[in-house]
């Protein structure tokens, strides 16, 4: 997996400035600038269902094969759909949708217009059952790729504790075979998903669900494809499970890894939650059950995934610099000065995180402590205090780790 000459690192799940809680400064110029700094080679446009953003997508240059360029940087048409409906019980799911062309995107938008509004948010909500949605997409084009997003997060992940589903077949019914992949989400990694027998026939991909273009959000999770220049080749790699691997954050870094209550500032491991009977020690109400507990509850002993992709477990470089400075804001001048210096010297963040040698880092006058953190991050050896109920996990220095683990 270390031969990177054929890599195309892609983040196909992002959002525009028209989605809730997203940066107002997201445009194609900023996305391309920071994608290159991160080390990404391909992005999804995100939010193709939003009418105003779609007009900006139209201005991208089509290569005739489903890749759309802003200057020299390629995009594929993508978006996220929220389905909330009642079918015996309340159901809710987020889906990443990849689209082969502008013309196909127009047809999808026309279909959605028969079901509700698209103009109020970049991630619109519809009362369409998941199986019905997939069926209708396949009628429009069998080249549309539908990927359940961040599949373990409590509220909108297909396996989430609050989603209303316990299996993909329950969600998609006879359309199960037309769903070829799942997205891990930040709170899980491929190894956790290998415990689920139902996923044996599905590709396991990873994308960031970025709400801004900053490099500690964009590409924090990504999929490593083989180089190509067409939508069809890209989708073939997903459907045939023929891509190279994924880049993941430590699952503990995700916002929903452990159980807990954000308002109460209380979290607990799955084992501790069992001892507590699922009740918060602070408010004495039911805890929000996180990803690790949910994976354990749905795991199958007979699961036997034949094709297990390699994956890198990396924290964003900004997190290491903040950790070096004993906490604080990602956006301080001191943090940016260190980050910018590294990028000037070594080109992009993934190159620094994955490739640059200890000797090269020292030669560039990188501090010994930061060199140590970069190398430990490369080996997945930085411990993280688990995130819970909407709170990110927090990276820990060794002396802090001893108190926590």
Digit-coded pLDDT (tens) for 29-47: 999 999 999 999 999 999 9
Mean pLDDT of the chain: 96
Which domains are assigned to the chain? 7-252 (3.20.20.140), 316-381 (no CATH)
Q: Are 46 and 78 in contact (CB under 8 A)?
A: yes
> Among all chains, which residue has been given the structure tokens 């359309």?
175
End-to-end CA, the chain: 31
**In 231-309, where do the E strands start and end?**
245-248, 259-261, 266-268
Q: What's the CA gap between 61 and 161, in Å, rounded?
A: 42
pLDDT of residue 301: 86
Secondary structure class of 241 (helix, strand, coil): coil
pLDDT of residue 1: 61
Digit-coded pLDDT (tens) for 193-235: 999 999 999 999 999 999 999 999 999 999 999 999 999 999 9
The alpha carbon torsion through 67, 73, 77, 82 (nearest 10 deg) reads 160
Q: Is the pLDDT of residue 83 over 50?
A: yes
Q: What's the CA gap between 283 and 99, in Å, rounded?
A: 45
Digit-coded pLDDT (tens) for 150-189: 999 999 999 999 999 999 999 999 999 999 999 999 999 9
pTM of the model: 0.96
Q: Which two tokens stand for residue 233?
A: 């080749």
DSSP conformation letters of 156-204? TSTT-TTSS-S-HHHHHGGGGGG--EEE--TT--HHHHTT-GGGTTSEE
Digit-coded pLDDT (tens) for 104-132: 999 999 999 999 999 999 999 999 999 99
């Amino acid at each position: 997996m270390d031969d990177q000459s054929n890599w195309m690192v892609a983040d196909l799940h992002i959002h525009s400035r028209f989605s809730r809680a997203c940066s107002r400064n997201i445009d194609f110029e900023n996305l391309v600038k920071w994608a290159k700094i991160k080390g990404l080679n391909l992005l999804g446009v995100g939010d193709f269902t939003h009418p105003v953003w779609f007009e900006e997508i139209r201005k991208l240059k089509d290569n005739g094969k489903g890749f759309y360029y802003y200057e020299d940087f390629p995009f594929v048409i993508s978006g996220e759909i929220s389905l909330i409906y009642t079918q015996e019980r309340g159901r809710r799911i987020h889906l990443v949708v990849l689209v082969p062309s502008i013309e196909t995107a127009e047809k999808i938008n026309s279909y959605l217009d028969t079901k509700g509004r698209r103009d109020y948010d970049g991630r619109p909500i519809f009362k369409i059952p998941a199986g019905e949605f997939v069926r209708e997409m396949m009628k429009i084009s069998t080249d549309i790729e539908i990927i359940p997003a961040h599949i373990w997060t409590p509220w909108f992940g297909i396996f989430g504790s609050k989603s209303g589903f316990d299996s993909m077949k329950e969600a998609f019914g006879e359309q199960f075979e037309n769903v070829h992949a799942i997205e891990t989400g930040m709170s899980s990694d491929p190894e956790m998903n290998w415990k689920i027998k139902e996923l044996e026939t599905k590709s396991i991909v990873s994308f960031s669900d970025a709400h801004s273009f900053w490099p500690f959000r964009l590409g924090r999770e990504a999929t490593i494809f083989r180089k190509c220049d067409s939508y069809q080749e890209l989708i073939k790699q997903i459907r045939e499970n023929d891509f190279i691997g994924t880049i993941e954050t430590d699952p503990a870094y995700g916002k929903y890894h452990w159980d807990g209550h954000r308002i109460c500032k209380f979290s607990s491991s799955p084992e501790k939650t069992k001892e507590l009977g699922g009740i918060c020690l602070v408010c004495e109400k039911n805890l929000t059950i996180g990803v690790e507990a949910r994976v354990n509850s749905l795991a199958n002993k007979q699961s036997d995934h034949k094709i297990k992709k390699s994956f890198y477990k990396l924290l964003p470089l900004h997190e290491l610099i903040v950790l070096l400075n004993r906490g604080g804001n990602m956006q301080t001048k001191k943090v940016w000065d260190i980050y910018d210096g590294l990028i000037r010297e070594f080109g992009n963040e993934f190159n620094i995180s994955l490739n640059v040698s200890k000797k090269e880092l020292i030669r560039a006058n990188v501090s010994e402590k930061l060199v140590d953190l970069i190398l430990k991050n490369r080996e997945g050896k930085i411990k993280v205090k688990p995130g819970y109920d909407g709170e990110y996990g927090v990276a820990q220095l060794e002396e802090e780790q001893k108190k926590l683990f």
